[in-house]
Amino acid sequence: MKIKFIPFILLIFLISSKSFSIDTKAEQAVVIDFDTNEILYEKNYNLQTPPASMTKILTVYVAFDRLKNTDLSINNECTVSAKAYKMGGSRTFLEIDDKVSIDDLLKGIIIQSGNDASVALAECLAGTEEDFAKLMNVYAKRLGMNNSNFVNSSGWPEDDHYSTVLDLALVSNAIIRDFPNLYLYFSDEEFTYNEIKQPNRNKLLQSVQGADGLKTGFTKASGWGIAATARRDDRRITVVINGTNSSRSRMNESSNLINWAFSQTSQKKLVDEGQLIVEADVWLGNKPRVNLISSRKVISTLSFDQLQLIKSSIQYTKPIEAPIIKGNTYGKLLIEIDGKPNIEVDLIAEYDVGPINPILKIFAAIKYLIFGTSLDE
C-alpha cells in the first residue's frame, strides 16, 4: 500500500497496512483517529458508491449549522408536504400538513432514519429538496468531501447521488467537532412520534463501549453500511464501512474495527509545543547560546512496533548569527516513523538575542574560534 496525502483542514496521514494487521468483509472501509486525523486503516475508501441513509449525516450537518449560526430554533415548526408524506423506505410516520418542530424532525432523521422527516426538513430550510441538495453540495466542498455529489436529503437511490466512506468520515468528524452539544442527538436510543416508539437503528449504541453515533444506511446497490464512532477515555475513533451483506455483518465488522483501533494503536505525544529541543551556539550575540524550542505539539497514532523505530534529527546552521528574534524559525526537527510520512517541526527561538557591541566583535570572534562560544553574558 502506498502512502497517500489527503487535504482536509489538518493533514491526514495514511499509515501503511503493514504496520497494523486487520481486515474486513466490508467492500469499503476507513478507520480514523479523530484527534490526530490519521487514517489507521482503509479499503477502497475513495470508491464512489451510494451512501444510502448515511446521506442524512450531511443533511443534519446543514441543519445544525443553521441552528448554531442563525435565528433558527429547534422549536420552529415545519409543515409536512405531500412529497414528504409519500416518501418510501424508513419513516417517522409524519402526516400531511402536520406542523412538526425541527427538534422532532431531527430526532426522526437521526434515530429512525425517516426519509419523510429528511424531506420535510429540507423543504423547510430551503424551500425545495432540490435547492437543499444544492446547499448540501456547497457544504460538502467546504468539508473536503471532494468525491461526493448529493441530489436529495435522504439518500434515496438516484443517479448522480454518491459518496465515499472517506467523505462520510469527514462529515461525521466535522459534525462532532463543530456541534458538540447538538451532536448529542445521535446518542438518543429511542424516539416517540404519533404515539409510535422508534428505536435508534444504530445497534452499536448498546453493544460497543463508548459508541455514541452516527448513522446506518442500506440500499440494494450499496449493501449495508454504517458511519460509527466511539469515545473511550480521551480518545475517539471513527469508522465508516459500506457494502456488507447483512445488518448483522454491518454491526460485526464495524465493532471489530472500532475495538481493533482502540486495542492495537495508541496516541503518543512525540513533542510538546514550547519544548526545549536544543541549546544552540550564537555567533556575535550578547548571549552565548539560545534555546530552540518546538513551534507546535505533535501527537501521532502508533503501533508498538512503530514506537520502537522512531528516529529524530535536528537541522540548523551552527552557530546562529545574532541578532536572533524570539519566535522566528532557526531550525527543523525531523521525526521519522516507519510506514508514515516524515514529520517536520519548526524550531523557534525562545527569546531575543541582540548583537554584540561592535568594539568587542573581534574579541568575541576569537573567543568563539578557540572555545566554541561567544562572549559571556
Please report where in the chains the cell 527543523 appears, as a residue: 332
pLDDT in tens, 120-147: 999 999 999 999 999 999 999 999 999 9
pLDDT in tens, 344-353: 999 999 999 9
pLDDT in tens, 232-274: 998 999 999 999 999 999 999 999 999 999 998 888 889 999 9
- Mind telling me the catalytic residues? 53, 56, 113
pLDDT, average across residues 72-95? 94
pLDDT in tens, 13-52: 444 433 456 899 999 999 999 999 999 999 999 999 999 9
Q: What number does CATH give the domain 5-264?
A: 3.40.710.10
Q: Which is nearest to 60 in space by CA: 175, 161, 173, 168?
A: 175
- 270-371: CATH topology is Peptidoglycan synthesis regulatory factor (PBP3), Domain 2 (2.60.410)
* 184: CB partners within 8 A, 6+ apart: none
pLDDT, average across residues 156-171? 97
Rounded distance between C-alpha atoms, residue 189 and residue 88, angstroms: 23
pLDDT in tens, 189-239: 998 888 888 899 999 999 999 999 999 999 999 999 999 999 999 899 999
Contact 333, 14 (CB under 8 A): no
pLDDT, average across residues 175-199? 93
Q: Which of the four pLDDT bands, split at 50, 70 and 90, describes residue 7? A: very low
pLDDT at 232: 95
Q: Which is nearest to 280 in space by CA: 193, 208, 372, 204?
A: 372
3-state secondary structure of 237: strand
How many CB atoms are closer than 10 A to CB 369?
Answer: 8
Helices (H), 52-203: 56-69, 82-85, 102-110, 115-126, 129-142, 165-178
pLDDT at 363: 64
pTM of the model: 0.80
pLDDT at 305: 76
Q: Which is nearest to 34 in space by CA: 149, 213, 177?
A: 177
